[in-house]
């Protein structure tokens, strides 16, 4: 089975380091790139064609919701999992409406990332353990 290729989109250097450490413990995922803002994410997706994008919401230049909206226009193949500190139900719903397949709160990430990414790559939706969808 080929490694799933992941693009990490987050403006926090520290958070990207945490994600890299977690992924280094798993042999089924490979981080192929990072982007620090929404505009860079759009370009990296076009260049790298990742299997999955971990997308933050609060990004400089273009937020994660708008970046995803633009990514969906040119690349329907990459799955998108939003990873954010924001638990507001309107934001979570907006993330799914623009084409996200998952939403993981950052404080749940270490527990939820494996099961969440696996679910999304298998074509299912995933919602962080601390959230409920009505």
Alpha-helical runs (H) found in 25-132? 38-48, 64-74, 89-97, 109-121
Global confidence as pTM: 0.93
* Cα–Cα distance list, 82 to 2, 35, 55, 119 (Å): 23, 14, 5, 14
The candidate with the shortest Cα–Cα distance to 83, out of 117, 41, 45, is 117
**CATH class (in words) of the domain with range 4-27+34-127:** alpha beta
The candidate with the shortest Cα–Cα distance to 47, out of 27, 71, 26, is 71
Tokens of 1: 């089975």
Domain boundaries, the chain: 4-27+34-127
Q: pLDDT tens track of the chain, all 134 residues?
A: 578 899 999 999 999 988 888 887 776 789 999 999 999 999 999 999 999 999 999 999 999 999 999 999 887 789 999 999 999 999 999 999 999 999 999 999 888 988 999 999 999 999 999 986 54
């Amino acid at each position: 089975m080929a490694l799933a290729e992941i693009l990490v989109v987050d403006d926090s250097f520290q958070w990207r380091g945490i994600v890299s450490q977690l992924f280094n413990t798993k042999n089924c995922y490979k981080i192929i790139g990072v982007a620090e803002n929404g505009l860079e994410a759009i370009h990296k997706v076009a260049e790298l064609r990742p299997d999955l994008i971990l997308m933050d919401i609060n990004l400089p230049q273009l937020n994660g919701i708008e970046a995803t909206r633009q990514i969906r226009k040119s690349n329907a193949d990459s799955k998108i999992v939003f990873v954010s500190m924001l638990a507001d139900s309107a934001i979570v719903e907006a993330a799914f409406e623009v084409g996200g397949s998952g939403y993981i709160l950052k404080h749940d990430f270490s527990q939820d990332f494996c099961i969440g990414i696996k679910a999304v790559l298998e074509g299912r939706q995933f919602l962080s353990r601390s959230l409920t969808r009505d």
